[in-house]
Amino acid sequence: MLKGKIALVTGSTRGIGLGIARALAAQGANIVLNGFGERREIEQIENELEKAYNVRVMHHPADLQSPDEIYEMVEWTRAQLGPVEILVNNAGIQYVAPVDELPRDRWDAIIAINLSAAFHAIHDALPLMKRKGWGRIVNIASTHGLVGSINKSAYVAAKHGLVGLTKVVALETAGTGITVNAVCPGWVRTSLVEKQIEDRAAQSGVEIATAARGLLIEKQPSQQFVSIEQVAQLVVFLCSEAANQMTGAAITMDGGWTAQ
């Protein structure tokens, strides 16, 4: 379905981002991975995806706190593979603390990576999409882009901002062949969520499985984690022709969390 398209997925050396990259590759897209990790492990991912799906897969190590490095990544992608046609802003970090105890540098880092990096990537990739008359921008937000939770001021502010950015860029590009949407998953058992489960278990003196169930019961009525594959397939759908008239949407996949 996406044969020959060029997809850049930030934060894609593991977790949700890697799942999205794999799903796009399965549809024939050439992939630029971005994120940190051991070079040998990243090369294994590149080789695995190339062999499995007969696509080109490359990696750029841009630090998303640097606008210059983001620009270099977009330009490097254009030089190596072609103009970015699918941009998935997935990279994110978390720090949990009451607002008056949140270190200032953690606030700055979370806003930079979870929100500002998406702006810079869109700013740099959008002119290329406009020239082609086709593009897909998918911002991986969160239920925290729609509702709040205690002790997550920076994360919630960044994800709310990402949903707002999605709406504005969608309005500015309406009718151009470019769509811009946000995906808002609930609890997905990634390393970020695993850390919260471990902290919860340690604070409560319970086993990891009990802490995980408690996390779900508190927020997610389905009492099941969203899977990486489910998020990835939603991104694939948003890149399809069936989603040509979906733009500016914040799409929840949260087991009923935001329906409460």
Cite the active site residues.
155
Question: Chain centroid to CA 144: how far?
Answer: 13
Closest listed residue to residue 9, CA positions, set 136, 192, 95:
136
Rounded Cα distance between 62 and 11, Å, is 10
Tokens of 1: 């379905």
| Long-range interactions of 66-69: CB distance < 8 A, separation 24+ | 67/116, 67/120
Rounded Cα distance between 56 and 197, Å, is 36
Contact between residue 257 and residue 219 where contact means Cβ atoms under 8 Å apart? yes
